[in-house]
Amino acid sequence: MKARALAVGLLFVAVVTRSWEASAVTPPEERPARITAADRFFDIKAAGERVFVTVGYKGRIVRTEDGGTNWREVQSPTTAALLRLCFVDAEYGWAVGHQGVVLHTQDGGKSWQAQKSGTPVALFAVSCIDRLHAFAVGDSSTFLRSQDGGRSWEVRQVPLSLAGIREDMTLAISDTIYYGMHFVDARSGWIVGEYGNIRHTTDGGETWDSEHASLLGGAIRDAMDLPAFFDVRVTGSSAVAVGGQGKIAVSKDGGQTWRFVNEGRRGSDALYEITAIPAGGLLLVGGGGFIARGADDSWQAAAVPQGVYGWLAGADVAASGNGFVVGSDGILLQTQDFGKTWTTATWRGGSTP
């Protein structure tokens, strides 16, 4: 009888074990958020010496407090793509993005609050002077300014520049997109955008000059043939604008006259951002994994790790020489020598690409 029970038991066990073992499925583990090759970051800025904040697609905000050793995901009030950042000091800063999103921080990017921008259009650039004065610019010639730390934003329209525009085209390009801006104080600033537009204001955005007129004449007569400019940077009397097809335009007279420089770089990938290097000079980043250092008409390509060919959209270097570049494919590059050489960094803590 014992044997009989044993036999039946064994049969049962054998038949059932196989099926049971097979159906004992491990539950879907929730892993910590990772940064993958599908992630895109559009800008990174330092808030003080050790803190860097990067923003990107779907309102993503990632932050480090220890110079890039560990990265943490920050709660974001939006799912709209965040495109640009600025910090006035280690605590106050703004971020702007699609759907007219303006975010504000008062704790170095640890927490963000949405501000009412009063516009639904995409905002491509932001520039902040102090804790009260900030500006933004974007789609449909939209220009924003605040004089109360962003509690209220004034929405204005940048009038169309007629420089180099044929009469019959004015209707078609009535709403120039502005991609880049740099305000040097609360009154004086530059904005750049489509059709080679380089506009300058000296009255906080009431009126605008058309400085790109100086680029016309000679080979280029029509503004439609000018590249789109994506960023502008002014240091004293020397100014630089970069844009589509890798074009670099410089001015040595505070923006009065501009000319294209022969940048002497391969291909024709666009340049997306200009950042000031604390030790002096500027940093350019662009498509095809391109980084360059220099000023005015002298630019040298930086040493970028092999195999980085995605677009680079944002960069910043802190006073210590420690800096980062972000872009497509979850790319994170780090420099320790003010941008001369770059290595691939890992998103440790929040992530691994």
Partner 1 sequence: MTAGTARDDNLTLYRLGAWLIAHRLSISLVTLMLTAYMGYNTMQVGMTTRFADLLPYQHPFIQVHTKYAEQFGGANNITIMIEAQKGTVFTIPILTKIFEITQIVDTLPGVNHDQIESIGHRSTRYLKVLAGTVSTPPVMRRAPTSDADVAEIRTIVHHSDNLRGKLVALDEGAALIRANFIEGQIDYRKIFDETNAKIIGPYDRDDVHIYVAGEPRLYGWIYHYTGEVVPIFFASAAIMWILLYLYFKDWRGALRPTITGAVSALWGLGFMHLMGYALDPLALVIPFFVTARAVSHSVQMHDRYYEEYHLNGWNKTDAIIASFAGLFVPTLSGIIADVLGMLAIIMVPVVILQRMAASASVWVASIAISELLLNPIVYYYLKPPDKRRVLARESGLFQGALGVASSYIVGPRGAYVTVAVWAALVIAAGSQLRHLTIGDPTAASPLLRLDSPYNQAHLRIQQKFGGVEPLIVIVEGTEKNALKAPEVLETMESFQRYMEQDPDVGYSFSLADSVRAIQMTFYDLQPRWGVIPDDTRRISSLFFYFFASAPPSETAKYCDPAFMNSHVTFFCKNHQGDDVKRLIDRARTFINEHPMAKAHFRLAGGLIGVTAGANEEILRNDLLMNIMGFGTIFIILLFTYRSFVAAVLMLLGLVMANVLVNAYMGWRNIGINLQSLPIVTVGVGFGIDYGLYVVSRAVELYREDADLTRAVRNALVSAGKAVTFTALSLTSSTLIWYFSQIRFDAEMGLLLALWMAVSFAASVTLLPAIIVLVRPRFIIREAERTAMKPELPELRFQARG
Q: Catalog residues that contact partner 1 under the rule CB under 8 A.
A: 3-4, 7-8, 10-11, 13-15, 17-19, 21-26, 28, 31, 33-34, 36-38, 40, 42, 57-58, 80-81, 83, 98-99, 122, 124, 172, 177, 179, 194, 224-225, 227-228, 230, 243-244, 266-270, 272, 287-288, 306-311, 313, 327-329
Report the residue number, 60 or 133, with the smaller CB distance to partner 1: 60
- Nearer Cβ to partner 1, position 154 or 225? 225
Across the beta sheet with 82-87, the strand order is: 82-87, 93-97, 102-105, 113-115
Nearer to partner 1, 269 or 322 (CB): 269
Q: How far apart are CB 152 and partner 1 at their closest, in Å?
A: 24
Question: What are the angstrom distances between the C-alpha of 229 and each of 88, 242, 252, 275, 332?
Answer: 24, 5, 18, 15, 24
Q: How far apart are CB 99 and partner 1 at their closest, in Å?
A: 6
Residue 3 Cβ vs partner 1, minimum distance, rounded to whole Å? 5
| C-beta closer to partner 1: residue 67 or 287 | 287
Strands (E), 65-119: 72-74, 82-87, 93-97, 102-105, 113-115
- Shortest Cβ distance from residue 269 to partner 1 (Å)? 6
User: What is the Cα 40 distance to its own chain's centre?
Assistant: 10
Shortest spacing between CB 310 and partner 1, in angstroms:
7
Minimum distance of partner 1 from residue 124's CB (angstroms): 6
Assigned token pair, 350: 């929040």
Nearer residue to partner 1 within complex by CB, 102 or 318: 102
- Report yes or no: 272 and 283 within 8 Å, Cβ to Cβ: no
- Integer CA distances (angstroms), 339 to 51, 240, 276, 282, 314, in order: 17, 18, 11, 9, 13
Starting at the earlier edge strand, list the strands of the sheet with 282-286: 271-276, 282-286, 290-295, 298-301
Residue 167 belongs to what H/E stretch?
Answer: none
Residue whose CB is less far from partner 1, 314 or 323? 314
